């Protein structure tokens, strides 16, 4: 479909639009499996949904533009080199996610089948990891004679100080530190991992920087 604006002919390629929509949907799907299979609850915010949907599309567009033009590709590398993450990434998972989303966009431009297989592989890998965690939780219990009161630790970094309602989730505060005016670190002792994930899910996602249950 083509139409003219100010003597310029603009064409709408429905095949390209379909690829862009599919790329965005695959990114959004990755967000879901990160949340539900890897318990990365900090990804539930709307800005993270935007990142998961747009970043693969950006990678797809860039590789489409520079794929057949060496001079343009070198110029694009120079232009993109000025882009910086001004906010330090405290959670290594975020760095993996950004690389994964950019890779998805690039692979999508090369082969849709390869991109779908990449997403399928990640899904299967996350399912295997989740099954392993469940087996470890159910069958590899700590010996009853060895301090069975606190089997796990919950580590949380936040942007503001937490309210003292963690006791209702069967958490016990083991350590607290304040790195600067915008970073607070907590360590809780807990008997069940589900208590820790339940407490994390109850928090405002905008204040959680990172967390882990060990």
Full DSSP string of 129-185: HHHHHHHHHHHSPPPTTTTTT--EEEEEEESSPPPS-GGGGT-EEEEEEEEETTEEE
In this structure, are 68 and 134 located in the same domain?
yes
In this structure, are 125 and 179 located in the same domain?
no
In this structure, are 115 and 50 located in the same domain?
yes
Q: Is residue 145 part of a domain?
A: no
Give Cα 50 distance to the centre of its chain. Answer: 11
Q: Is residue 146 part of a domain?
A: no
In this structure, are 11 and 67 located in the same domain?
yes
Q: Is residue 180 part of a domain?
A: yes
pLDDT digits (tens, 9 = 90+) for 3-40: 555 555 566 778 889 999 999 999 999 999 998 888 78
Asked which of 57-66, 75-84, 165-174 is least confident by mean pLDDT, the reply is: 75-84
pLDDT of residue 52: 95
- How many independent structural domains does the chain possess? 2
Where does a domain end: 139, 160, 188? 139
What is the pTM assigned to this prediction?
Answer: 0.59
Q: Is residue 147 part of a domain?
A: no
Q: Please, which pLDDT band fits residue 88 given cuts at 50, 70 and 90? A: low
Query: Which residues, in sequence order, are bridge partners of residue 156?
Result: 186, 211
In this structure, are 181 and 130 located in the same domain?
no
Domain of 176, CATH number, reads 3.30.70.1140
Domain housing 120: 2-139
Where does a domain end: 139, 163, 189? 139
pLDDT of residue 9: 55
């Amino acid at each position: 479909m083509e139409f003219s604006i100010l003597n310029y002919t603009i064409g709408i390629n429905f095949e390209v639009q379909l690829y862009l929509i599919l790329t965005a949907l695959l990114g959004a799907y990755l967000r879901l499996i990160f949340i539900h299979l890897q318990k990365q609850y900090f990804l539930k915010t709307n800005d993270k949904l935007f990142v998961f949907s747009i970043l693969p599309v950006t990678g797809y567009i860039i590789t489409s533009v520079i794929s057949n033009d060496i001079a343009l590709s070198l110029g694009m590398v120079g232009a993109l080199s000025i882009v910086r993450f001004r906010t330090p990434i405290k959670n290594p998972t975020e760095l993996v996610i950004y690389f994964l989303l950019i890779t998805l966009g690039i692979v999508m431009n090369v082969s849709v089948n390869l991109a779908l297989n990449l997403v399928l592989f990640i899904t299967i890998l996350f399912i295997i990891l989740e099954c392993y965690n469940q087996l470890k939780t159910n069958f590899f219990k700590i010996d009853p004679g060895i301090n069975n009161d606190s089997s796990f630790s919950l580590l949380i970094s936040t942007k503001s100080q937490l309210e003292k309602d963690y006791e209702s989730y069967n958490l016990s505060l083991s350590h607290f530190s304040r790195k600067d005016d915008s970073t607070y670190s907590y360590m809780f002792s807990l008997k069940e991992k589900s208590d820790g994930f339940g407490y994390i899910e109850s928090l405002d996602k905008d204040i959680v920087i990172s967390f882990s249950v060990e």
